[in-house]
């Protein structure tokens, strides 16, 4: 006999846990099914938290090496890999334990299995248990993609999981890709002391960001000593007795690079394999993501999807918003679709790239009339005294009304700085509204006053 629930979540990561918690507010019988070897989800175990723990250490190391610039004498600054690794494990363990306790609490029925749809409202677990529910949420996340580059799969390259678990210094690494994972980890590896070559297909890294923002990071990467080669076409990957050889075309010539290690950072794909989605009448988009409406409902109205498996943005806070939205809708409560025009996205390179609202290219595409203004960090008091002169801030506001539509920040701690503008954008404030703020001096944040004032003048 099948056990029946009000709401079943498949996948107890960021999206799944947020949905289960939200559904439990008004429903008694909520189940979570997670077949991962460790509970906790990508963000905690192998994504945001381990990467940002390590990247922060690498930033401190980088600053220590620039000690002379700050009038300091730090004779030796280098990574202690076993201790770096141990700190990461300790930090992650704390987050994971907390999440595991939440998932295993008596509020939910937790099944440590892989699940597969065997009917429109029926799941069969890998131990044969059959579960039915009024509504389901698929929140199975994503897996590393391996595009059909000859020899890539056969050579078993590292993925981000391997880099985030290093307890020794790799002598040299070739990083394939120019997306967020590739860039964040290429700079981390370089800063801890590896020789890094990064190979990217398009003419610029970080193609989701504006070309101006990407150009700042490219210049810093090359200045720090990363060999960054853009505008390439990968031809072949081979294992050698010393490591790896990558052949690619660049400027019409065939080029070859060799290194002890190879990192495949060529993207991730939605984790839908083996879920029996066809049996449940759930359709996928061309991208492989589960197709949903604005309430995260799939083509089977009883099956919702959220997080990396649903897209369109593979970011934790979006996964959480989508999970909460799906659970509210599935349990018959008022639910507001996610407002992607207020999206915040961040790349944790140094300098960081942060964006809020509608990107400028999208404003142009939609034919929205806007005014814009920017200001560089190399002309700002606090960033000058911090020796953090790379990058700029930019504000985009609606022509006529001055309503904030978008903002971009490339620079030190851009991930923190963007949030004052993100609040303005989400609350549909105008440039004049934001200028009522007491912007403290000297801070990095007060740099926003320059483009805000310029935008106001331009209106
Ligand atoms: C290196 C790296 C760094 C990142 N850094 C950031 C960052 O700084 N900021 C940010 O916002 N985002 C970051 N991300 C992205 C972020 O981690 C993801 O967007 C987010 O964790 C996705 O959450 P999710 O709930 O969709 O999936 P997950 O957290 O992956 O959860 C999916 C769960 O489903 C389970 N599961 C899968 N298949 C089945 C099945 N068939 N049956 C049962 N259970 C199943 C898995 O065990 C897992 O627990 C990073 C990603 C990577 C790889
Ligand atoms: N700071 C953050 O919020 C953060 C950090 C890491 C990851 N993430 C999320 O994880 C997701 C995955 O990141 P990612 O960097 O792995 O993927 P991505 O899709 O951002 O980047 C993949 C890269 O691989 C290249 N590529 C793909 N196929 C190729 C081929 N056949 N030949 C040559 N190049 C090819 C692409 O041009 C791109 O540069 C992202 O969507 C991101 O949202 C977020």
Task: Please give the average per-residue pLDDT across 230-247, as a whole number.
Answer: 97
286-321 pLDDT, tens digit each: 999 999 999 999 999 999 999 999 999 999 999 999
Q: What average pLDDT does this structure show over 262-280?
A: 98
Tell me which ligand sits closest to the C-alpha of residue 205. 2
For residues 399 and 300, what is the distance between their CA atoms, to the nearest angstrom? 42
Ligand 2 atom closest to 315 (CA): 43
What was the ipTM of the complex prediction? 0.98
User: Is the pLDDT score of 1 beyond 90?
Assistant: no
Which pLDDT belongs to residue 429? 98
Peptide bond before 442: cis, by omega within 30 degrees of 0?
yes
User: Could you tell me the pLDDT band of residue 48, with boundaries at 50, 70 and 90?
Assistant: very high
In angstroms, the CA 93 to CA 230 distance is 37
Q: Is 313 tagged catalytic?
A: no
In the reported structure, the alpha carbon of residue 356 is separated from the centroid of ligand 1 by a whole-number distance in angstroms of: 22
To the nearest whole number, what is the mean pLDDT of the chain? 98
Best substitution site from 9, 32, 44, 48 to test ligand 1's pocket, by max atoms within 8 Å of Cβ? Answer: 48
Mean pLDDT confidence for 381-400: 98
Q: β-strand 253-259 against 261-264: which pairing, if any?
A: unpaired
* Integer CA distances (angstroms), 283 to 268, 280, 289, 311, 312, in order: 19, 9, 9, 14, 15
| Residue 233 confidence class, pLDDT cut points 50, 70, 90 | very high
Q: Which residues form the pocket of ligand 2, taking CB atoms under 6 Å from any ligand atom?
A: 147, 149, 177-182, 184, 200-202, 234, 265-268, 314-315, 346-348
Closest CA to 394 of 442, 443, 358: 358
Alpha helices in 73-224 (DSSP H): 81-104, 160-163, 180-192, 211-224
Binding-site sequence positions: 52, 140-142, 177-184, 267, 308
**CA angle (344, 432, 360) in 5-degree steps:** 40
Contact call for residues 253 and 181 (beta carbons, < 8 A): no
Share of the chain above pLDDT 90, in %: 100
| Mean pLDDT along residues 54-63 | 98
Calculate how far, in angstroms, residue 108's C-alpha sits from the geometric centre of ligand 2: 34
Give pLDDT tens digits for 124-141. Answer: 999 999 999 999 999 999
pTM: 0.98
Dihedral class, residue 50 (left if φ above 0, else alpha if ψ from -120 to 50, else beta) = alpha
Q: Per the annotation, where are the binding residues for FAD?
A: 52, 140-142, 308
Helices (H), 105-153: none
DSSP calls for 255-319: EEEEESEEEE-S-EEE--TTS-TTTTTPPBPTTSSBP--TTSB-SSTTEEE-GGGT-S---HHHH
DSSP lists the bridge partners of residue 398 as 370
Residue identifier of the C-alpha nearest atom 17 of ligand 1? 43
- Cα distances (Å, whole numbers) of residue 456 to 375, 446, 452: 14, 16, 6
Residues 67-97 have pLDDT tens digits of: 999 999 999 999 999 999 999 999 999 999 9
- In DSSP terms, 397 is beta-bridged to 371, 404
Ligand 2 atom nearest to 179, measured from its CA = 21
Instruction: Encode pLDDT of 190-213 as tens digits.
Output: 999 999 999 999 999 999 999 999
**Using CA positions, which residue lies closest to atom 13 of ligand 1?**
48
Domains and CATH numbers, the chain: 3-144+269-339 (3.50.50.60), 160-266 (3.50.50.60), 341-458 (3.30.390.30)
Residue identifier of the C-alpha nearest atom 37 of ligand 1: 140
For the stretch 395-415, pLDDT in tens is: 999 999 999 999 999 999 999
């Amino acid at each position: 006999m099948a056990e029946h629930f009000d709401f079943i979540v498949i996948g107890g990561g960021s999206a799944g846990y947020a949905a289960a918690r939200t559904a439990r507010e008004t429903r008694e019988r909520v189940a979570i099914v997670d077949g991962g070897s460790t509970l906790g989800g990508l963000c905690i175990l192998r994504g945001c938290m381990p990467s940002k723990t390590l990247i922060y250490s690498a930033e401190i190391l980088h600053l220590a090496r620039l000690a002379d610039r700050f009038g300091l004498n730090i004779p030796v600054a280098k990574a202690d890999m076993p201790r770096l690794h141990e700190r990461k494990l300790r930090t992650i363990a704390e987050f994971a334990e907390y999440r595991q306790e939440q998932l295993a609490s008596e509020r939910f029925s937790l099944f440590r299995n892989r699940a597969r749809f065997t009917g429109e409202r029926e799941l069969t677990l890998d131990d044969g248990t059959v579960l039915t529910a009024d509504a389901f949420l698929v929140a199975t996340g994503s897996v590393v993609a391996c595009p059909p580059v000859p020899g890539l799969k056969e050579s078993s390259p590292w993925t981000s999981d391997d880099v985030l678990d290093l307890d020794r210094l790799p002598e040299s690494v070739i990083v394939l890709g120019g997306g967020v994972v590739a860039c964040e980890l290429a700079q981390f590896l370089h800063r801890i002391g590896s020789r890094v070559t990064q190979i990217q297909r398009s003419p610029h890294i970080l193609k989701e960001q504006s070309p101006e923002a990407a150009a700042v990071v490219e210049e810093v990467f090359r200045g720090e000593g990363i060999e960054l080669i853009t505008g390439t076409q990968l031809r072949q990957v081979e294992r050698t007795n010393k490591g790896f050889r990558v052949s690619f075309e660049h400027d019409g010539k065939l080029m070859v690079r060799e290194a002890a290690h190879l990192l495949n950072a060529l993207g991730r794909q939605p984790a839908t394999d083996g879920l029996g989605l066809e049996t449940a009448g759930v359709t996928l988009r061309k991208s492989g993501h589960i197709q949903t409406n604005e309430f995260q409902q799939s083509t089977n109205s009883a099956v919702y999807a959220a997080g990396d498996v649903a897209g369109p943005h593979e970011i934790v806070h979006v996964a959480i918003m989508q999970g909460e939205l799906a659970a509210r809708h599935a349990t018959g409560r008022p639910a507001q679709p996610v407002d992607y025009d207020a999206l915040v996205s961040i790349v944790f390179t140094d300098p960081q790239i942060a964006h809020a609202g509608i990107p400028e290219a999208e404003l142009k595409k939609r034919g929205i009339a806007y005014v814009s203004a920017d200001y560089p960090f190399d002309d700002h008091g606090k960033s000058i005294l911090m020796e953090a002169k790379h990058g700029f801030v930019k504000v985009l506001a609606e022509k006529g009304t001055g309503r904030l539509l978008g903002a971009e920040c490339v620079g030190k701690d851009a991930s923190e700085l963007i949030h004052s503008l993100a609040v303005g954008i989400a609350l549909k404030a105008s440039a004049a509204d934001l200028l009522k703020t007491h912007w403290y001096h000297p801070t990095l944040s007060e740099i926003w006053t320059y483009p805000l004032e310029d935008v106001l003048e331009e209106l």
